[in-house]
Amino acid sequence: MPTQVNWTALSVFIFFFVLVTVMGFAASRWQSGKANKGAHLDEWGLGGRNFGTWITWFLVGGDFYTAYTVIAVPALVYAVGAYGFFALPYTIIVYPIVFLIMPRLWHAAHRAGHVTAADVVYGRYGSRQLEFAIALTGVVATMPYIALQLVGMEVVIKALGLTGELPLAAAFVILALYTYSAGLRAPALIAFVKDLMIYIVVLVAVVLVPMKLGGYSAVFASAGEAFAAKGGATGLTLQPQQLLPFATLALGSALAAFMYPHTLTGIFAAKSADTIRKNAVFLPAYTVLLGLIALLGFMAYAAKLTVSNNNDVVPALFNALFPSWFSGFAFAAIAIGALVPAAVMSIGASNLFTRNFWKPYVNPEISPAGEQKVAKIVSLLVKVGALIFILFLPTKFAIDMQLLGGLWILQTFPAVVFGLFFRWYRAPALLAGWAVGLAGGSWLAFADGIKPVHTLVLGGSSYTVYTGLLALLLNIAVASVLQVILGERGAIKDELAPDGAVR
C-alpha cells in the first residue's frame, strides 16, 4: 500500500465525499411533504413508508451490497479461488425468497403499524419474551456488520496514503450527523450516487484491466498457476469436497440475508407489496455486478500483485493499473458504499431498541415524537460503538463476530417467517428453538475456531456444512417437538398493534 499521499486521488475522493454529504443533509427535505406525519418514527426510521420501486431498488441494493462486499468478495476469491464465488448463488437464491416472503411481512407490518421484525413477532404471538429475543439478536448481529463497513472504508483511506484514525473518525462523524438529521431518506438518496459510481467502476475495471493484462485467458492462466503453486489445485473450479459447504453456505446465507434489521428496514419502507415483488424481479442485476466484482480477485494474480492483507487486493489493483484520478473515483465509490449500509444498519438497530426495548420496558406511554427522538440518539450511539469496536479491537475479531452474526440472525427465521404462512407454532416453542439453535450453533462455531462450516461424521463418512444451517435445523426440530408436546393450547393470537390493541 502507498506510503505517500496521492493528492490527485485524494482530491477526487474528497469531491465526491463532500457531494454525498451535502445530499445527506439535504435529504431531510426530500419527499418529506408526502407523508405529513411530522415527528414520527415512521418518518425518520422508514422514510414515511413511501418509497417506490426505483428508490427501494437503490436502497435495498445499497444496503445489501456493501463496501465490505466490494473489498471482501475479491479478497476471498484471491485467497481461496472458486470457493469464494459462493456469494453468487446465494444472491440468486435470495430473491425468490424475497418474492415469496417479504410481501406478506410488509402486509403484516403495514396493517398494524409495525416498524421492526420484532414488532411483527409480538403482533403475531403476543409474547414479550419472544419479541425481546428477536430484537436482541437483531441488534447484536448488526453491530459487527456496521464495524465491517468501517473496515472497507479504512482500506481505501489507507490506499490514498492517509494514516492514523482521524480520517475514518471524521467520515463517520459526518455520517452520524446527516443520519440524525434526515433518517432513512439520507442513505436512500445517496444510494443513487453510490450504485451509479460502483457500476461505472466495476464495468470499467472488467473491460480495461484484462486489456492491460493480456485478456481474460491470461487472467485465468495466471490465477490457475498461482493456486497450483499453493497446493496443487487450480482454484478455478470447485473441488469435490467443497461442493457441500459451498451449497449450504449459499442456502444459509440466502435465508439469513433478509432477516437483518437493515435489509428489513428497506422492505418496511416500501410503499406497497407490489414494490417489493418488482424489486425481487429486478434486484438480480446486482448479482451480475457481484460476479464481475469477484473476478477482480483473479485479476490481481495477472497483475503480479503482492499484498500483506487480502483486503488490500482491490485498492492495490486500482493503484497499479489506473490513473490517480480514476483510483480516487473508485475509492470514493467504495467509501460511499460504506456510508449507505452503515446508515441503514444504525437506523435498523435504533428502531429495534426504541420499539422493542425502550417502549415496552422503560416508557410504555412514549409519544410518536418521543420514539423518534430516542431512535435518533440511539443511532448516534450505535455508530460510536461500531467506531470504538473497529479502532480498539483487531479487525479479525470484527470479521469473526460478523460470521457469528450471520449464524445468530438466521435463528430468527422461524419466529419471523413461520407465522406468516401457518398458525401451528406458539411462542414458547419458537423461543425454545431460538435459544437452542443460538446456543448450539455458537458452541459449534467456537469449537471450530469461529469458522463458518462444521464437519459432521456420519456412518464413517464426513459432511462439511454451514454451521448456521445446522443450527437452524436444530432450532426448527426443537420448536416442532416442543409444539407437539404443548399441543394447540395458546395458538397464535389475533394480530396486535404496537400498543397491544387487537387487530
Q: Does residue 13 surpass a pLDDT of 90?
A: yes
Given pLDDT bands bounded at 50, 70 and 90, which one contains residue 87?
confident
Supply 232's cell numbers.
Answer: 496443487
13 Cβ partners below 8 Å, 6+ apart? 156, 160, 328, 329, 331, 332, 335
Q: Are 236 and 82 in contact (CB under 8 A)?
A: yes
Local confidence band at 2 (pLDDT 50, 70, 90 cut-offs): low
Pick from 55-59, 456-460, 487-491 the range whose average pLDDT is largest: 55-59
Residue 260 phi, psi (nearest 5) = -65, 145
Higher pLDDT, 33 or 448: 448
Q: What is the 3-state secondary structure (H, E, C) of 339-365?
A: HHHHHHHHHHHHHHHHHHHHHHHCCCC
User: Minimum mean pLDDT among 49-58, 139-148, 381-390, 391-400: which range?
Assistant: 391-400
pLDDT class of 114 with cuts at 50, 70, 90: very high
**Measured distance CA(364)–CA(359) in Å, rounded:** 5
State the pLDDT at residue 228.
86
| Residue matched to cell numbers 470499467 | 204
Given a cut of 80, whether residue 470 has pLDDT beyond it is yes
Q: Is the pLDDT of residue 493 over 60?
A: no
Flag whether pLDDT at 310 surpasses 80.
Answer: yes
Q: Please report, as a single letter, which amino acid is at residue 170.
A: A
**Residue 370: CB atoms within 10 Å:** 16
Q: What angle do CA 191, 193, 198 make, to 5 degrees?
A: 90
Span 7-21+39-397 CATH architecture: Up-down Bundle (1.20)
**What is the Cα–Cα distance from 268 to 19, expressed in whole angstroms?**
28
Q: How much is the pLDDT for 458?
A: 83
Q: In the predicted model, is pLDDT for residue 503 greater than 50?
A: no
Average pLDDT over residues 72-89: 87
Report the C-alpha gap between 307 and 330 in whole angstroms. Answer: 19
- Mean of the per-residue pLDDT values of the chain: 87
Q: What's the pLDDT score for residue 67?
A: 76
Residue 234: is its pLDDT beyond 70?
A: no
SS3 323: coil
Q: For the chain, how big is the Rg over CA atoms in Å? A: 23
| Least confident range of 29-33, 177-181, 445-449 | 29-33
Per residue in 317-348, pLDDT (tens digit) is 999 999 999 999 999 999 888 888 888 999 99
Residue 271 has pLDDT above 60, yes or no: yes
pLDDT score of 36:
46
Q: In this model, does residue 497 exceed pLDDT 60?
A: no
What H or E segment, with its residue span, contains residue 453?
strand 453-458
Residue 479: pLDDT band (50, 70, 90) is: very high
Location of C-alpha cell 418488482: 278
pLDDT value, residue 289: 86
Q: Which residue has the higher pLDDT, 493 or 221?
A: 221
d(CA 40, CA 367): 9
> What pairs with residue 457 in β-bridges?
462
| Residue 314 one-letter amino acid | V
Q: What is the pLDDT of residues 239-264, one digit of tens each?
A: 888 899 999 999 999 999 999 999 99
The per-residue pLDDT for 39 is 66
C-alpha distances in Å from residue 289, one per residue of 177, 195, 198, 206: 31, 10, 9, 10
Q: Of 89-98, 184-193, 469-478, which has the strongest mean pLDDT?
A: 469-478
Res 106: pLDDT: 95
392-438 residue pLDDT tens: 776 666 667 778 889 999 999 999 999 999 888 999 999 999 999 99
Domain ranges, ordered by start, for the chain: 7-21+39-397
For 214-225, how does the pLDDT look when each residue is reduced to its tens digit (9 = 90+)? 999 999 999 998
Identify the pLDDT of residue 398.
Answer: 63
383 confidence band (pLDDT: 50, 70, 90): confident
